[in-house]
A and B are shown apart, each in its own frame.
Chain A
Amino acid sequence: MSMHIGYDFIPPDVPGKVTGEIKYAEDYRAEGMVFARLLTSPLPAGRVLNIDASEARRMDGVVGVFTAADLPPVAPPANPALASDYITYVGQPILAVAATSEEIAETAIGRIRVEYERRPFVVDPLESLSPGGATAYPEGNALVRTREEGPDGTPVVGAQIQDIKWPREAIDAMREGREPMGAEFTNEWSFGDIETGFAEAAAIVEEPFVTIGYPHHSLESRTCMAYWENGKCYFHGSSQSQSANNAGLARMLNIDLADLVFINEATGGGFGSKIGPYPYMAITGEFSRQLNRPVQLRITREQEFYIGSARSGIQGWIKLGVKEDGKVSAVDLIIVNDGGMTGGGSGNSSAQHVTVAYQPESMRFRHISVYTNTTPRGAQRGPGQNEMSAILGPITDKAAKAVGVDRVEFRKINALTSDGFQGGSQGPVTSAFVREAIDQGERMFHWRERSAQPRGDGGKVRGLGVGIGYHGAGGRGYDGLLRMDGDGILHIHSGVGNLGTYSYAATCRVAAEVMQMPWDRCQIHRGRSDRHLPHSSGQGGSNTVFTHSRANWVAGEDMIAKMKQIAAADLGGGAEDYEIGGERVFLRDDPDTGLGYAECARRAMALGGAFSGQEYPEDINPLTQLAVRGLAGTGLIGVARDNIPGVGQPPGVVVGFIEIELDKDTGKYDILDYAAVADCGTVVHPKNFDNAMRGGAVWGVGLAALERHVYDPQNGLPANVGLYQSKPPTILDVPVDTGAAAVNIPDPQNPAGGRGIGEPTQGAACAALAAAISDALDGHLFNSAPITTDMIVNHLAGNSYSTQSLKTNTF
């Protein structure tokens, strides 16, 4: 019988968030702190010729100007904290000014004269691939992995920017929705025999598609504050993660791991854009060191758009072969990613999503990610998977219809199972119960009954949609660290970031579960690295629940083993003769003979060695070693690396069902109902699970219907730098209530049973909504994400709509 897993609780930072008492990086002040602000590029491409900051430096209150020359040089295509020789997007930071007030810093920025040299620019990847097309970097438009033989015969793997051009015929074909023959790609893989697969197909569906990238727009911008004391850097940052920042940030600041205190109590969203240290942290840290004063670099809402990363857009083409029985026999997929200035396309993840959605018998994937002079791109909630999910929703329905198979049955036929695979390497999964999720959702949503209802008369029509979201949902090999003090309080040290999902707290509950501790006698330590926090994964990729419930589990087991050893040494018998319960370790055959946890802890302190952290396992991470050394002698230490055996990727899958009513006059629709069922193993924290399911669904509406990058190809300017212009969904754009449930079958490779679920929640909703829009419009495929009001109005009016040319970044 579980004590904690599967039960609700209030994470300890929730009251502070409700009352406003909790502090974000921007809320911190330090004596003598100065305010830094950024001057950013007005050009999409070029370089800095000269900076004249003399007038600004003479101003009262200005304490310093910091440029790229103050940082180690960064070679392209790495994303520099401050640009000089390579300006690659509008809004790229050029320099920072520090002053005694923000107002003075801003006035000073207005008095700095920067002389630029312009370069050609491009905002459309296909334009860049066209013969004679501009490239985002002078060196080219694509990152090409190179492999050469080294002097001793070992391969030397490298990467370089190259200029790749497609024949005009290939560009034209891609724009017209046909396979681009003769096109060059930088990544290709395949499995099975697609020619046979297509030959065996009863129906073939071939469609072009486009998904438009869009900014993360984290509500908390990435403001940082840093100061230095006795060679140590105290760094307040805004991150999804905690311990995952330390090594990279220490390297960035060229200091030892022990000389960095990274502080991140709470985070106002990251969505993939704040998994690890970001380049701009170097400005705050180094500027502070240079000035020998605390420096806060506040990032404005608009700057967060520029530097806060964005989802990559796709121009793609897909060909599906489907057998008579509904089994997908072949997939041919081409993806051209718009990688922005960082080149970070997620095409491989999109292809991985296709493998999970269809489990095809054969598949070929061809991919190229093209640099454009648009904002940096990076991971954003289900990067690659979720935008592909939005595209696949309606296309899957078309494929099912083509062979006369019900669309829900079609998804069951092709569903991922525990024996199934994911990705181009066809790697295994830990377990999967997607068919069960579809069955459960179908019943919960009353899909059959709704499908039988009339679809509405002329003005308003109903549409039904089903969609599948998927993401890998767990990692291995991280560390857990626990301490039992002399009063019998269990201290759970967590290096998990507080990105708003509360998974840090949910995974800490697993330690209490293993130790059979009441929750009110447990204390979580987190939020700043001088609280002795272990090495942890970054809080991205829906991994935390799986990864850190395992890590805390093994740390608990280590602590229990030590308790049994102490008890056996003190009370006789072997360690194996003891068990735990009621905050005691006792002889199985004589429960009255035993030690309380507090007593064990006191004995551990007396014994020293591994019992109280003077010694520790060799395989734990250096950061965990530092943390254990900091705790040594203060209690009974449980510390271990997650070496739980097992193979395969833990999958997180959500199946969403939606009903809309579409107004044919306005192109607007109401979402009448939405329900989703997750296959995420055991639900560790029900309230948290519920929040993730509903929040993800809201953002799925954003992906499918509203949010997008808009760049002007004439001048490289972004149109939607603000929150209202980027149009994330509002409370009136989504149903007040939605249904959420889980299959709740434990994953066999996690003792706590859970897998992650954050990202697929969005993918399921966007796929279902896109499918429902198509369903309401008699199966019309927009092949676009988002599908915006104007597209629907144009379609209904018989106009050609603006995405027909399949361009990212423009509409």
Chain B
Amino acid sequence: MPSHDVMPNMDLYQPAVLEDALAIADRLGDRGWLVGGGQDTYGWLKDRAKTTDALIDLSGIESLRGIRQDGDTLEIGAMTTLTEVAENPLVREQFSLLAEASAIVASPQIRNIGTIGGNVSQDVRCWYYRRGLSCYRAGGNLCYADTPEGMNREHALFEGSRCVAAGASDTAPALVALNASMVIRNSGGEREVSAEDFFVGPALDILNTTVLRPGDVLTAIRLPADWRGASFHFEKVADRNVWDFSLVSIAAAFRLNGDSISEASIVCGAVQTTPRRLRNVENALRGMSKGMATAEAVSPMAAAGARALAHNGFKIPLMQNLVKRAIAA
């Protein structure tokens, strides 16, 4: 069984400038593995559940770090640590939703090392998949979790398509709620993808959780002014209060006109592979007053279309309750 607990033999590249990283990533293609803080990577490799010929360590590239105001846009370098994001005055002042989400990822130790780029690029948390079993997502032809006896308490309620793994990122729902965009570079140039399109579910691509492909480097995350200074609500429910993944999380942003909601952006985490944007709830809220009465009326819609597995049915009321609290808060 995978309990090696030592790194396998492989090459290690430590480029100091982005151009070198891009060239190496381009040359190696799918034989290379980009690593930021390594908090997801090292487990895969030490367990030998995944292997690579070479690691491309991005931690020496200074241009990928830091948080900059660029006109109306706040740009966060992909290698900025989660602690830096959580504590940054610009983020806290303009997008406290993201600061809150970043501040509750994993544990202080992991946030000090883990990067926001890594947090959004991490793989799904399905224990079968992470054991190295040959499931659909690993290139095989079955799913161990979506069965009557599967141990699927933490798995997805929505958009399962051969794979029912849930996404694990706490910052991803916040970024989707904030209409963030992801800046991706490769040897051919730069492209910008909306956060909502950045994350991909199994129906679209069962082997990947994002649009990143070999040769691509996520260099930055841009936050437009759309939701700057809005009324925010972030909440994560996990079994433990630290060092745990979300059972369900919610990231919500509201624009208010008096006490009525003119616009809302509400996204749930850990209920499907990608952050789940609750457009039906958002639409229903438009023009409604923000408070408990509206919350109780609208929140049941949050779980519309959910398909509970044998052990994750609790996520449905939990999701509805979190939506209710976001609206009522």
- Inter-chain contacts of B144 with A (CB < 8 A): 712, 714-715
Q: Is B287 an interface residue (CB 8 A)?
A: no
List residues of chain B with CB under 8 Å of any chain A CB.
1-9, 47-48, 107, 127-128, 131, 133, 144, 147, 149-151, 153, 235, 237, 239-244, 247, 310-314, 316-318, 321-322, 324-325
Q: Given A730-B241, A733-B240, verify A91-B151 contact (CB < 8 Å).
A: no
The 8 Å CB contact of B239, one of A40, A706, A715, is A706
Residues of A within 8 A of B150 (CB): 712, 714
Contact B4 A106 (CB under 8 A): yes
Considering the chains assembled together, what is the distance between the CA atoms of A733 and B144 in angstroms? 31
9 pairs, CB–CB < 8 Å, chain A vs chain B: A301-B5, A302-B1, A712-B144, A714-B147, A717-B133, A727-B240, A733-B241, A790-B314, A797-B317
Measured CA separation A802–B151 after assembly (Å): 11
Complex-state Cα separation, A667 to B2, whole angstroms: 34
Q: Which residues of A are found within 8 Å of B312, using beta-carbon distances?
A: 790
A794 touches B127 (CB 8 A): no
> How far in angstroms is the closest Cβ of chain B from A185?
28
Q: Residues 82-114 of chain A: 1 if any B CB is under 8 Å from the residue's CB, otherwise 0?
A: 000000001100000000001100110110000
CB within 8 A of A732: which of B7, B237, B240, B314? B240
- Establish whether residues A796 and B317, one from each chain, have CB atoms under 8 Å apart when the complex forms: yes
B322 and A729 contact, CB distance less than 8 A: no
**A42 interfacial by beta-carbon distance below 8 Å:** yes
Which chain A residues (16-74) contact chain B, with CB distance < 8 Å? 37-38, 40-42
**Further contacts, 19 of them, CB under 8 A, given A103-B9, A107-B9, A802-B153:** A103-B6, A110-B48, A306-B1, A306-B3, A665-B321, A665-B324, A711-B151, A712-B149, A713-B149, A714-B147, A714-B149, A717-B133, A721-B3, A732-B240, A732-B242, A790-B247, A790-B314, A793-B321, A802-B310
* A710 at the B interface (CB under 8 A): yes
User: Which chain B residues lie closer than 8 Å to A711 at the CB level?
Assistant: 151
Contact in complex: B151, A712 (CB < 8 Å): yes
Contact partner of A300 among B5, B318, B322, CB < 8 A? B5
Given the known interface contacts A666-B237, A724-B243, A802-B153, the answer about A91 and B313 at a Cβ–Cβ threshold of 8 Å is no
Q: Which residues of B contact A40 (CB under 8 A)?
A: 1, 3
Task: Report the minimum CB–CB distance from A133 to chain B (whole Å).
Answer: 15
Known: A300-B4, A714-B147. A802 touches B240 (CB 8 A): no
How far apart are the CA atoms of A541 and B247 in the complex, in Å?
A: 37
Bound-state Cα–Cα, A301 to B6, Å: 11
B residues less than 8 Å from A106 (CB atoms): 4, 6, 8
C-alpha gap A714/B102 in the complex (Å): 37
- Give Cα A627–Cα B240 distance, bound, in whole angstroms: 49
Q: Are A666 and B318 in contact (CB under 8 A)?
A: yes
CA A729 to CA B48, docked complex, whole Å: 28
Give CA–CA (A811, B155) in the complex, Å: 13
A793 touches B5 (CB 8 A): no
A374 to B265, CA, bound (A): 46
Closest to A711 in B: B151
Contact B3 A729 (CB under 8 A): no
CA distance A811 to B152 in the complex (A): 9
Q: What's the minimum C-beta distance from A794 to chain B, rounded to whole angstroms?
A: 5
Of residues B3, B153, B316, B321, which shows the largest number of chain A Cβ atoms within 10 Å of its Cβ? B3
CB within 8 Å of B: which A796-811 residues: 796-797, 799, 801-802, 810-811
Contact with B along A768-811 (1 / 0, CB 8 A): 00000000000000000000111101101101011000000011
B151 neighbours in A (Cβ, 8 Å): 710-712, 719, 810-811
Chain B residues with CB under 8 Å of A725's CB are 127
Top 9 A-B pairs, shortest CB-CB distance: A797-B317, A302-B3, A300-B5, A732-B241, A665-B321, A790-B314, A793-B314, A732-B242, A730-B242
Report the nearest B residue to A668, measured CB to CB.
Answer: B237
Residues in chain B near residue A159, CB distance under 8 A: none
A801-B240 in contact (CB<8A): no
Q: Are A102 and B242 in contact (CB under 8 A)?
A: no
Q: Are A730 and B1 in contact (CB under 8 A)?
A: no
User: Given known contacts A727-B240, A788-B239, is B314 in contact with A797 (CB within 8 Å)?
Assistant: yes
**A793 to chain B: which residues have CB within 8 Å?**
314, 317-318, 321
Distance from B136 Cβ to chain A, minimum over Cβ atoms (Å): 16
Chain A residues near B128 (CB-CB < 8 A): 712, 717
Interchain nearest-CB distance for B242 vs A (Å): 4
Which residue of chain A is the closest to B310 with respect to CB atoms?
A802
**Docked-complex contact A666 and B241, CB < 8 angstroms:** no
Q: How far is the CA of A303 from the CA of B128 in the complex (A)?
A: 18
- Asked if A303 contacts B3 (CB within 8 A), the reply is yes
Bound-state CA distance A436–B96 (Å) is 52
Bound complex: CA A790 to CA B5 (Å)? 32
Out of A102, A710, A724, which one reaches B244, CB within 8 Å?
Answer: A724
Q: Which residue of A lies closest to B7 (CB)?
A: A103
Query: Are A666 and B322 CB-contacts (below 8 A) given A712-B144, A712-B150, A793-B314?
Result: yes
The answer on a CB contact under 8 Å between A799 and B243 is no
CB distance from B88 to the nearest CB of A (A): 23
Kindly provide the distance from the CB of A250 to the nearest chain B CB, expressed in whole angstroms: 30
Q: Chain A CB within 10 Å — which of B1, B7, B8 has the most?
A: B1
Contacts of B9 in A (CB 8 A): 103, 107
Q: How far is the CA of A747 from the CA of B240 in the complex (A)?
A: 40
Instruction: List chain B residues, Cβ under 8 A from A300.
Output: 3-5
Question: How far apart are the CA atoms of A574 and B224 in the complex, in Å?
Answer: 96
Q: Which chain A positions have C-beta within 8 A of B321? A: 665-666, 793
- Neighbouring B residues of A797 by C-beta, 8 Å: 314, 316-317
The docked-state distance in angstroms from the alpha carbon of A535 to that of B325 is: 62
Interface flag for A1 (CB, 8 Å): no
B240 x A730 contact (CB < 8 A): yes
Nearest B-chain residue to A802, judged by Cβ: B311
With a CB–CB cut-off of 8 A, which chain B residues contact A712? 128, 144, 149-151
User: Roughly how many angstroms separate A20 CA and B269 CA in the complex, as a whole number?
Assistant: 41
Residues of A within 8 A of B5 (CB): 300-302
Distance of B25 from chain A, by nearest CB (Å): 26
B7 partner residues in chain A, CB cutoff 8 A: 103
Decide if A736 is an interface residue (CB 8 Å cutoff).
no
A794 and B240 contacting across the interface, CB-CB below 8 Å = no
